[in-house]
Amino acid sequence: MTMRSPLSRVRGLGSAHSGTEHFLTQRMTAIANVPLVLFFVYLLVTLAGRSHAAVSATLSNSTTAIFLLAAILSVVIHMRIGMQIIIEDYVHHDGLKMSLMMANTFFSIAIGLCAGFAILKLNFGL
Amino acid sequence: MAEIRTRNPRPLSPHLQVYRLTMTMAMSILHRITGAALYFGTILFVWWLFAAATSRGFEALNSFFDTWFGQLMLFGYSWALIHHMLGGIRHLVWDTGRGLGPAEREFSAWATMVGSISLTVMVWILGLTLRG
């Protein structure tokens, strides 16, 4: 028999006080993604099917590279939170949920690093 | 996370299949599907960037994008980006407390669907014209 009220027992087991930050970060990256993704769509339709020389020439432009790096950073943060919400909604087994959350973080970081590396390589030509 | 375990599984709230499909519901589902598709679509983007950076396999990737399946994939990719973006803007409007009325949300649901398809078609027409 516990003397603690149900409210005090449930406190600290809930959101761990981090939910608001995720909510705000998701909105902030969403706003940043609007111009950045529009720029990416522009690159996609103008570069699809073009020769290697044409594509690498466009991607080695400093402005293009900085915009793409910004897009990758914002997209990777946004997609990690988005996938975390999907996992939380559908996966209820604790172990599997934690594994998928970890895989989600690893995947997002790997995508960010690989894309960033490729863009830097195109620009510095190492 | 707190988890309450009971011996008898408690009834869960009814899921998607018991409801009549509405436009707002369809857009909600599509927003999540396009989001998840774009998540895995980043693999394609990184693949393409690496091929451009190392020039290995670039021509092979290009000839794949030249097939009807490759073209459909690129078109679908750009549509998913635009649809998820319009859906996101709709959410940002809702975050200010506006546009939540029955008529408004129905209108923005249709605007998202019609807008994403027509914008994607326009963007490709424009892009292919600019390229000549």
- List of chain A residues whose C-beta atoms are within 8 Å of the C-beta of residue B36: 82-83, 86
CB-count exposure of residue B8 (10 Å: 0-12, 13-18, 19+): exposed
| Contact at CB, A44 and B89, closer than 8 angstroms | no
Question: For position B87, which CATH number holds?
Answer: 1.20.1300.10
User: Cβ of A59: how many Cβ atoms within 10 Å?
Assistant: 21
pLDDT of residue B60: 92
User: B13-59 pLDDT, tens per residue?
Assistant: 777 778 888 999 999 999 999 999 999 999 999 999 999 998 888 99
SS (H, E, C) A3-16: CCCHHHHHCCCCCC
Range of the domain at B87: 23-131
Residue of B nearest to A49 (CA): B62
**A29-57 tens-digit pLDDT:** 999 999 999 999 999 999 988 899 999 99
- With respect to residue B13, please indicate whether it lies within any of the assigned structural domains: no
- Shortest Cα distance, chain B CAs vs residue A52, angstroms: 6
Counts for chain B of helices (H) and strands (E), in that order: 4, 0
Residue range of the domain that includes A107: 20-124
pLDDT at B16: 74
Per residue in A57-73, pLDDT (tens digit) is 999 999 999 999 999 99
B103/chain A closest Cα distance in angstroms = 25
Quote the ipTM score: 0.86
Q: Write down the pLDDT at residue A110.
A: 98
- For residue A102, give the CATH number of its domain: 1.20.1300.10
